[in-house]
Chain A
Amino acid sequence: MATQALFGQLLIGLINGAFYAMLSLGLSVIFGLLNIINFAHGAQYMMGAFVAYFLLSLTGLGYWWSLLLAPIVVGLFGIALERTMLKRLYHLDHLYGLLLTFGLALIIQGVFRNEFGSSGLPYAIPAQLTGGYNLGFMFLPAYRAWVVVFSLGVCLATWWVIERTKLGSYLRAATENPTLVRAFGINVPRMITLTYGFGVGLAGLAGVLAAPIYQVNPLMGADLIIVVFAVVVIGGMGSIMGSIVTGFALGVVEGFTKVFYPEASNTVIFVIMALVLLVRPTGLFGRAS
């Protein structure tokens, strides 16, 4: 086994893991408070990439601006969805939230595919991050290193805000018992809206990060999101740290599988999911409900 190939796949695994982590983190945050699985997450991730593409092609704003603006745009879109549609479903079975967001994902992906086909549009790596480092045992492209470091930072910052700040404590309290938290005078519906916006914004951010690596493609999130669902099940739904750790870890596992047993690389995550379910039905980091 050439170490070059091994480390190459490890890096690809880390990159994929970074996206798994960011997306499953967003899903977990949303799930924790809203109790819905946001099926439109993959479509919103794709929208992030497209916003970056439009910012560049229409206004000339580059990658760094996109990194800031695209999550806001996509997050606002999410807030609009929550205000107009999702909030009507909170009194119903949570499955309706899943069905609604599934429908929204179909619409969003359908519209983008109508407009842009399914071939994908190129998005250049920002000038500051072109090139790479020769580490001796492998070549490390600068942009890929940046994606891993940056997304890890975003994930840990999110964890810190939710687990260690006052705002986060409100959020966790509202997850436990929204009625009681409201009785304390905290505007829970607004918190729900902003939480959904934040989770969706994270998906948009992941989309911007992905744009230079994969092409900007209307269906880039369609299959990815299902793998992320499996990641969420393995990590334990609603667990913040669980999503981050399992996201990265499963990306790496997938990368190694590509080296040692490529036939199973697409299914390894689902096999792990089955095994985890046998041993711990609530997921690795999930609490017993």
Chain B
Amino acid sequence: MATVKEYAGAAPAAVASAVPRHQIVAFLAMLGILLVAPFFVYPVFLMKALCFALFACAFNLLIGYVGLLSFGHAAFLGSAGYVSAHAAKVWGLPPEAAILLGTAAAAVLGLVIGALAIRSRGIYFANITLAFAQMVFFSSIQAKFTGGEDGIQAVPRGTLLGVLDLRQPYTMYFVVLAIFLGGFLVVYRAIHSPFGQVLKAIRESEPRAISLGYRAEHYKLLAFVLSATLSGLAGGTKALVFQLASLTDVHWTMSGEVVLMTLLGGLGTVFGPVVGAFIMITLEHSLAQIGSWLTIVQGAIFVVCVLTFRRGVVGELARILRKPL
């Protein structure tokens, strides 16, 4: 049976002590584009894409490097959004504290859901995470503090560390960019650390990893919590950017969307989730006029990707260049 990894682009074969040069080039290119982009493109659009890019990177950590398909990642994005929005609006906390609190909430939720879900694999895992996320969704409808159908609106962005006024779009943009880059580098570091190598070993063959003395469950749970935490970071940031936390972010369609972004960009590639997120957000904006066509287009991309384009954009690029990206 072939597994995800064979179609996941060219994963780095060995631990490289130094970062490969082409990855540095790619990273600098990405950084350059993101630094000048807000002067040409509407910043809110870019911030949205960056939040989703971080979300997709966090998701990719699980599917790409541990081989676990979570179909419930919206739970972390959405609940962190609610907590951050509540902290900023009702408790009046500064933005850094609000985002951190949301992130922490996602981490705790990730620990609880992960501890239950991690014992299963493959389709079971996907099913179970989906069901837990749905539980979070229904709780969000009913809980008082989430505001039900209305969500939490008019969340103040506040002043970061008492210095940076986040009401300024550019200030907000560069803060979001910094958060995204921080998350991106954490994921990169995690993948290329000894920890990441163990994760890949578990993905290839869990019994072998266990027989070598690794406690596979612990590693998988840690990866799950890390992924949930970073998703929470994305969710908390997104709530401040849009000054809104709503049911959309906890709904299962959001879980599907992050799968799609990562699949389109390239499962198990470093830059794939970012590219996938930017493509999907662009598509959403350009298709916003024709409403429900968006769902059809998303579905069609899913089908095409699964049938003929399993490496994704960056995965294909990496294959052509013969370098892992």
Chain A residues packing against B (C-beta within 8 Å): 31, 35-37, 85, 88-89, 91-96, 98-100, 102-111, 113-114, 226-227, 229-230, 232-233, 237, 263, 266-267, 270-271, 273-274, 277-278, 281
Contact check, B299 vs A95: say whether CB atoms are below 8 A apart: no
Contact check, B303 vs A100: say whether CB atoms are below 8 A apart: yes
Instruction: Write out the residue numbers on chain B whose beta carbons fall within 8 Å of the beta carbon of A108.
Output: 299
Chain B contact residues (Cβ within 8 angstroms of A): what range? 35 or more
Interface code B203-219, partner A: CB below 8 Å = 1, 0 otherwise?
00000000000000000
Contact check, B307 vs A88: say whether CB atoms are below 8 A apart: yes
9 further contact pairs, Cβ within 8 A, besides A107-B303, A267-B139: A92-B2, A100-B307, A106-B295, A106-B296, A106-B298, A106-B302, A110-B295, A270-B135, A277-B120
Interface assignment of B124: CB less than 8 Å from any CB of chain A: yes
In the A-B complex, the 9 residue pairs with the smallest Cβ-Cβ separation, listed nearest first, are A103-B302, A106-B299, A107-B299, A110-B295, A110-B296, A270-B135, A266-B138, A230-B131, A103-B303
Instruction: Write out the residue numbers on chain A whose beta carbons fall within 8 Å of the beta carbon of B159.
Output: none
Instruction: Write out the residue numbers on chain B whose beta carbons fall within 8 Å of the beta carbon of A278.
Output: 116
Contact check, A263 vs B123: say whether CB atoms are below 8 A apart: no
- Nearest A residue to B126, CB-CB: A98
Interface assignment of B122: CB less than 8 Å from any CB of chain A: yes
Instruction: Write out the residue numbers on chain B whose beta carbons fall within 8 Å of the beta carbon of A273.
Output: 128, 131
- Nearest A residue to B303, CB-CB: A103
Distance in angstroms from A223 CB to nearest chain B CB is 8
Interface assignment of B292: CB less than 8 Å from any CB of chain A: yes
Instruction: Write out the residue numbers on chain B whose beta carbons fall within 8 Å of the beta carbon of A96.
Output: 306, 310
Contact check, B302 vs A270: say whether CB atoms are below 8 A apart: no
Bound form: Cα–Cα A229–B71 in Å = 12
Interface assignment of B160: CB less than 8 Å from any CB of chain A: no
Contact check, A95 vs B4: say whether CB atoms are below 8 A apart: yes
Given contacts A106-B302, A110-B295, A277-B116, contact A93 B3 (CB under 8 A): yes
Contact check, B4 vs A281: say whether CB atoms are below 8 A apart: no
Bound form: Cα–Cα A91–B322 in Å = 25
Bound form: Cα–Cα A107–B128 in Å = 24
Given contacts A85-B307, A100-B307, A106-B302, contact A226 B296 (CB under 8 A): no
Bound form: Cα–Cα A31–B127 in Å = 13
Contact check, A99 vs B127: say whether CB atoms are below 8 A apart: no
Instruction: Write out the residue numbers on chain A whose beta carbons fall within 8 Å of the beta carbon of B303.
Output: 85, 100, 103-104, 107
Q: Is the interface of A mostly helix, strand, loop or mixed?
A: helix
Instruction: Write out the residue numbers on chain B whose beta carbons fall within 8 Å of the beta carbon of A95.
Output: 4, 69, 122-123, 126
Bound form: Cα–Cα A49–B239 in Å = 39
Given contacts A105-B299, A106-B298, A226-B252, contact A94 B292 (CB under 8 A): no
Interface assignment of B119: CB less than 8 Å from any CB of chain A: yes
Q: Of A89, A92, A232, A281, which contacts B127 at CB under 8 A?
A: A232
Given contacts A85-B307, A103-B300, A106-B302, contact A277 B119 (CB under 8 A): yes
Q: List 28 A-B contacts (CB under 8 A).
A: A85-B307, A93-B2, A94-B122, A96-B310, A99-B302, A102-B302, A104-B303, A105-B299, A106-B256, A106-B299, A107-B295, A110-B293, A110-B295, A113-B295, A114-B296, A226-B130, A227-B134, A229-B127, A229-B130, A232-B127, A267-B138, A267-B139, A270-B131, A270-B134, A270-B135, A274-B116, A277-B120, A281-B120
Interface assignment of B263: CB less than 8 Å from any CB of chain A: yes
Interface assignment of B259: CB less than 8 Å from any CB of chain A: yes
Interface assignment of B132: CB less than 8 Å from any CB of chain A: yes
Contact check, B293 vs A114: say whether CB atoms are below 8 A apart: yes
Instruction: Write out the residue numbers on chain B whose beta carbons fall within 8 Å of the beta carbon of A110.
Output: 292-296, 299
- Nearest A residue to B306, CB-CB: A100
Distance in angstroms from A250 CB to nearest chain B CB is 12
Given contacts A100-B307, A103-B306, contact A37 B2 (CB under 8 A): no
Instruction: Write out the residue numbers on chain A whose beta carbons fall within 8 Å of the beta carbon of B7.
Output: 92
Contact check, A270 vs B132: say whether CB atoms are below 8 A apart: yes
Interface assignment of B248: CB less than 8 Å from any CB of chain A: no
Contact check, A113 vs B69: say whether CB atoms are below 8 A apart: no
Bound form: Cα–Cα A114–B294 in Å = 10
Interface assignment of B301: CB less than 8 Å from any CB of chain A: yes
Given contacts A93-B2, A273-B128, contact A102 B123 (CB under 8 A): no
Contact check, A267 vs B306: say whether CB atoms are below 8 A apart: no
Contact check, B296 vs A93: say whether CB atoms are below 8 A apart: no
Bound form: Cα–Cα A38–B296 in Å = 18
Bound form: Cα–Cα A114–B122 in Å = 33
Instruction: Write out the residue numbers on chain B whose beta carbons fall within 8 Å of the beta carbon of A93.
Output: 1-4, 122
Instruction: Write out the residue numbers on chain B whose beta carbons fall within 8 Å of the beta carbon of A237.
Output: 123-124, 127
Distance in angstroms from B148 CB to nearest chain A CB is 13
Contact check, A36 vs B123: say whether CB atoms are below 8 A apart: yes
Contact check, A229 vs B302: say whether CB atoms are below 8 A apart: no
